[in-house]
Amino acid sequence: MFRKHQMDSSAEENSIALVADPSIMLIKQTDFEMLKQETTRLKQNISNVFTQDVIEKIAGLSNIEKELEQTQQKLKEKNLEVYHWKSRFEKTQMDCQKERKEKICLQRELQEISQQHNLQSDYFASMGSTYCTALWRVSQNEQAVPKVGDLFQFVSQTLKSYIETYHDDMPAEESTEAQFACSLCGIITNIAASSFGRDVLADNPEGMQVIDTMMSMLIDAPTKGASQMKNLILMSLYNLTINKKGFKYITTKTSILDPLATLLKEECGPELKLHSLLLIQSLITEHDNINFLQSARKLLSTVTLDKLCRSQCSDVRKVAMEIQQDLRLYNEQ
């Protein structure tokens, strides 16, 4: 009895010691059996829950997570790139605004310079027109004809510049620019009106350059807006044909007949037609220049001459009839 009691006391102590161990839990036998049955049931059902499709989806989920991480990384890189380009855009925008302000300042300066240029241009054109008009009047005196080529060179360069500048849009004949150009042509016309002046023009290389420029202006300058200038040019060329050298030089330029024929066909004033006819008449007086006469005959058609012979201007009628008679005599030879 004593030993049994002693053994029971020892087992109780061991039991108490086991319970005191925190890593061990005591449960009832019935609970353990129920847990065991539940575990067995889960093992049996696990194959039904984790099918091959579920396993593949779980694996796919892992791939999706990796792709998501890669996408997040790319998004981060794109955000950095966006930040970079946004910074550049803001800088460019600031530069653009700065340049716009500079452009506005430059435009204002250009406008001021343009206004100053226009004022200076008007002033010098007015001054040149005044002086050239005075020189035009002075050149009517034979003793005042210049004996140097500087004036001829100046006239030639100025007239070339005038045509190049206003070729497609001639200024009004009342404008300062047009009066300036007409004054230069008038000076040459007055010089060519005297025998000494014609000799100066014909013997001077710069004088021949002026003649070439004037013949070019007959071709290049439109009649509208330049009729006064063309009248003066035609008068200069007519005066020059009185000089033997001048006549010989102009008759070598058969291209002059084209603008003359055009003037006769155009609806222009009788003065232009008269001066064109007078120049043609002067150029065909010498029948030795066969090439020039043939060119004149081709360009001056019978229809054109007949129309001019019926002109209301008596001077035009008279000269046209004389030219028609001269061409008939040439054809009979």
Q: What is the pLDDT of residue 240?
A: 92
What pLDDT score was predicted for residue 252?
84
Alpha carbons 205 and 189: distance in angstroms, whole number: 17
In the prediction, which pLDDT does 21 show? 61
Rounded distance, CA 91 to CA 103, Å?
A: 18
Structure confidence at residue 55 (pLDDT): 67
The DSSP code for 170 is P
Q: Is the pTM of this model over 0.75?
A: no
pLDDT value, residue 239: 92
**What's the rounded Cα separation, in Å, for the pair 20 and 7?**
20
Distance CA 271, CA 267 (A): 12
CB 211 within 8 A of CB 256: no
Residue that has been written with the tokens 């035609």 in this structure: 234
Predicted pLDDT at 295: 78
6, containing H or E segment: helix 2-20
What are the per-10-residue average pLDDT scores of the chain (333 residues)?
46 48 73 80 69 69 82 88 89 89 89 74 61 56 56 84 80 81 86 85 87 88 81 92 88 84 80 90 76 78 84 89 81 62
Pairwise CA distance, residues 229 & 184, whole Å: 9
Per-residue b/e over 163-182, b at no fewer than 16 CB within 10 Å?
beebeeebbebeebbbbbbb
Distance CA(208)–CA(243), nearest Å, equals 13
At residue 230, the 3 state secondary structure works out as helix
Phi/psi at 106 (5° precision):
-65, -40
| Residues contacting residue 10 through CB under 8 Å, at least 6 positions apart | none
Write out the two tokens for 94: 């600031």
Distances from the Cα of 277 to the Cα of 88, 156, 198, angstroms: 74, 25, 21
Residue of 220, 128, 107, 110 lying closest to 165 (CA atoms): 220
